[in-house]
Structure formats: structure tokens, C-alpha cells
Chains A and B, each alone.
Chain A
């Protein structure tokens, strides 16, 4: 009794999921392009600002233990404030538009990058750093030539996490006039029009996947250790 019903529900849902939203995008290409650009702009500015602050702060945290715990606490606090709260609290000062949203993205993006920068540097084998010291590298040279390159895959993993979070948070920008894909979510809800809602939501999901893949590829290229570990087994076998 149940099976045909479930089957028909799925059958009914599939065309809706697959076609309705695509058609809506194709009918409104200009608006879609503008929203996508606004969305990406918020993400790029917010994440870039988060990287610019969190990476140096993370490095500082590994140099001085007292600075370290202070910095980590601040990052944790920034993470616990809900993004919607940040937007609601700050748009009074920052005005309507993308600025409150970018601030929320920035604050929310700090912790993953901060945590991974600290973990990445702390996990560099001490023997590698000690080798640099024994070779006559200054502490700055050790940082640039040994610690950061070896920590980079981990730092990039943190940036990936931040990007994924940010694409989602940027949807909130629509509430304060910052534009972005969130506009179609609001519109879709107001009109009870699922295809509009999905036309806003699915491109965001695709965007997350693409950005995540791109950074994953970048991380693998930068860190030679993983790929060459495979080569090594080949060499030993040969």
C-alpha cells in the first residue's frame, strides 16, 4: 500500500527538483548573475579578511604561549556569537548593505583558520625545525622556509572550512540589503514557490562543492608529502 504512494511522491518531486529551479534561473539570468556576484563578493572579502587576521594571529600564538591562549579565546568567542546576531547588532552602526554581513562572515571565519594555523605549526616535527636551527637559519627563516610550508596543507584545510561556512552565512546578507542568493530564498518563501527557493539554494550548494574541491586540489598540490609517499612505495617495490 505504501510503496506506490512513496514512489509517486518521489516521482512527483523529481521533476520539481530537477527542472523548476533551472528554468527559473534561465528565465532570470541577469538577476541571477548579480546575486551570485554579490554572494561571492561577500564570501571573498569576508574570508580574505579572516585569513589576513587569523593566520598572523595564529603564528603569533605559536610564538608566545600567553598571546596564544588569549588569541584562541577571542577566536572561540567570535565563533559563539550567532552570525544573525552580529548582523542585527551591527547594522545600526554599519548601515544597510553588505558591511554587517561581511563583518559576520569575518568573525565567523576566524576560528577555523586560527585553530588550523596553530595546529599546523605546532605539528611540524620538531626535528625539522631543529635541523633548520642547526643549519644556521634565523627564527624568521625557520618560519618562512620550514614551519609555514609544512603547516600550509593544514592551514588550507582551515580556510576550506571557513569558505564552506561562509557561503552558507552569506545567505543572511539578503535580510539587510546586501543582496546575494538569499534574496531568492526570501522570495521563494514569500510566494511559497519552491522552484525560486531552490534556484537560490542549489547554486550555493554547488558553489560550496566547487570551492571546496578547488582548495582541496590546491592543498594537495602544495603539500608534496602525501603524493610522494605513494611514489616512495613504488620506488621501494621497484
Chain B
């Protein structure tokens, strides 16, 4: 959005235009929602339960049909696709994992390639490739989902969604069923995996921290209406209204720390103390982690170290700079 029209090669992979969904019983699940996701971006849909986020997501693969308005995938309205064909093109990570219990891991991962008619050899190779990608041992392929831990099952869920090389992927609370430690680990790994793929993602979650972490842009929904659609840092700095502000939480400044890397705010290397004694920071650490280390440190200024050399320093001034918008780095990154 911030780019010039000249760099408009990144087309809108998914677009919602004035979309409303009224169910047969009269409940209005989604009201006049408009937003778009550029190719290769991740949009997280977040809001309290019943806010319409899942309904919104399901309109992308025609599981739910909009009452009015248009949803487009690759610049083509969803209504013009054959729903079966569309769903085979769109990867889908299902809530509560949703692996097929009667199929082995291999069969689960290979299901979409199988129904679209890939050869057995090609499916087998693809499964090997995907298991490696999601960091699962190859010997899980003959196991059944129930034999795997929740975290492993969700890796399979991600592998299955990626199997037929989709350009668009829908993720419905993919990590919701996991314990906090496994969830965090999978979030990080998924961000790594995603960085190597060119896939547009719609990611539904009720967890605002997850939404801020996973999304290039975050859509906050309330009672079926899209309240705000912005990059995480912008959302944290300028919440649109009291609802967004309260949804972000009392600790949104802490959340904001999560969205900024040390590199973006650190001071010059020559201000760093020579003998600190605490854990040195990496420029890629989040500011949140940095604050924690800074609080534990015995000095006011903490060195930032990359590959064994001090590349910068961090003090209270640098940390505070993200809140008053004085940091040049922030301006460059988010305007």
C-alpha cells in the first residue's frame, strides 16, 4: 500500500469488496467488509469469537458464499471458479488440525495431489520434500495421526496444505490447539518456511499476539465489521478506536516492542560499554527481548553484537524512541 503505483507488480491476490454475509436464519455474520491482500503477503484476521473472521476466510475458497459483494482470488471473482477446482488450488489448514484419522501421514499429506491426479512417484517425492520442510522425520510417513503429538500433527497439517503448491493458503486457528511453548516454536518455524515460499496467506486467530506476529497486515473484526486493517506496528501505534485499543490490551506497548528489531533503533557502536557482563544482544532480536536483557543488565547501555563484533548499543532512549515516533528507522519502515 505504501509503494508507488510503479511497483504494482505485486497484484492483489485476494480482494474483498463490500462483502456482506447474512445467514438463512437472519444473522449477519459479515457486514460490508473490504480489504485486499497483496501477493505473497500474510493477512491475519483477528477478533473475539463470533466476529465473523472464520466466515470471512471461508469465502475465499467458496465454503461460504457472500450474500452481497465480491471476493476475488487472483483478480477473478470466486463465483466464477468451479468451487472444487478452486479449493484444490487453495491450501487449507483446518482448525483443530483436522487430519484424516484413517489415513497415514503420507496419505494425509498427499491427498490433494492424489485427487488432482499426480503420479505416485511425484506424490512420494513431494511428501518427502514437505516432511523435510516442516521438520518431521521421514519415518512418520507410515504412522497414523493419533500416533503423533499435537505439534507434529500440526506440522503435518501445514505440509498437507502446501502439498499441491498453492498460491493462496487459508489457515484457521492453526496453532490454537497447541500448548504455548509448541505454539511459539511452530509460529517461528512457520515464519521461516513462509519466507521461502511465494504464497498469499489468510490467517485466522483469536489471539492478538499471534495476529501481530504472523501478519504483514492485521484485520481487526468486531461484530462482522472490519474495524481496522493495518500493519502490526501501525495498529499498535494508532489504534482506530477504543475497541481496537482494548483488544490490543493494556500491554500494547509491550506488544509493540515485539514488532521492532534492535537493528532499527540501536545507537552507534562507540557508545557501547566495553565490559558489560550481561548477555549481548543480536541486531535481529526483538526489542521486547532486548528490554528484558536491558532490565537485567547492570549498565544503562547494552552492546549489540553481530558475528563477534560490537555493531551498536542500546539504551533507554533508543527503546523509548519507538513510542514517540522520533526514530528515523521507524519512519522509513512504516510510513
A residues adjacent to B (C-beta < 8 A)? 127-128, 130-138, 141, 145-146, 149-150, 223-225, 228-229, 231-232, 235-236
Contacts and interface: CB of A to CB of B under 8 A. Distances in A.
Nearest to A133: B63
Residues of B in contact with A, size category: 20 to 34
A146 B100 contact: yes
Nearest to A225: B101
A128 B95 CA distance: 11
Nearest to A236: B149
B195 interface: no
B325 interface: no
A228 B111 CA distance: 21
Contact of B101 (A128, A134, A136): A128
Contact of B94 (A127, A137, A149, A232): A127
B98 A131 contact: yes
Given A134-B87, A135-B92, A135-B111, A223 B102 contact: yes
Given A150-B101, A223-B102, A135 B88 contact: yes
B92 A134 contact: yes
B98 to A, nearest CB: 4
B123 to A, nearest CB: 15
B246 interface: no
B112 interface: yes
A236 B111 CA distance: 27
Given A130-B98, A225-B146, A231-B146, 20 more contacts: A130-B63, A131-B98, A133-B63, A133-B87, A134-B92, A135-B87, A135-B88, A135-B111, A136-B89, A136-B115, A141-B115, A223-B102, A224-B144, A225-B102, A228-B143, A228-B144, A231-B144, A231-B147, A235-B147, A235-B148
Nearest to A231: B147
Interface in B58-91: 61, 63, 84-89
A228 B96 CA distance: 19
B98 A228 contact: no
A231 B116 CA distance: 32
A128 B100 contact: yes
B87 A232 contact: no
Contacts of A235: 147-149
B218 to A, nearest CB: 23
Given A128-B100, A146-B100, A134 B94 contact: yes
B83 to A, nearest CB: 8
A24 B90 CA distance: 70
16 contacts: A127-B96, A131-B100, A133-B63, A134-B87, A134-B94, A135-B88, A135-B115, A136-B86, A136-B112, A136-B115, A223-B102, A225-B146, A228-B144, A231-B144, A231-B147, A235-B147
